[in-house]
């Protein structure tokens, strides 16, 4: 997964759904979003998978 590279190609206002089985993503991704100036919309936990929704700024 290259979330950073993908986000750089997207228009502001685009909403991204990241699906992951890596629990550390629930802390790492929000930290990166804050540093990069993007918005965390929601983190959804489903069994052994997480979905992280973010909006590109």
Q: Please tell me the predicted confidence (pLDDT) of residue 41.
A: 98
Q: Is the pTM of this model over 0.95?
A: no
CATH ID of 3-55, from 3.40.50.2000, 3.40.50.1860, 3.30.110.40, 3.10.450.40: 3.30.110.40
Coil, helix or strand for 57?
coil
Q: Please tell me the predicted confidence (pLDDT) of residue 1.
A: 53
For 47, the token pair is 């069994």
Q: Is the pLDDT of residue 2 over 90?
A: no
Under 8 Å between Cβ of 8 and 53: no
d(CA 1, CA 33): 15
- Alpha-carbon distances of 47 from 7, 14, 21, rounded to whole Å: 26, 27, 10
């Amino acid at each position: 997964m290259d979330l950073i590279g993908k986000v750089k190609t997207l228009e502001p206002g685009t909403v991204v759904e990241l699906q992951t089985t890596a629990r550390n993503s629930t802390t790492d991704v929000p930290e990166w979003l804050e540093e990069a100036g993007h918005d965390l919309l929601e983190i959804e936990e489903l069994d052994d998978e997480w979905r992280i929704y973010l909006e590109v700024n």
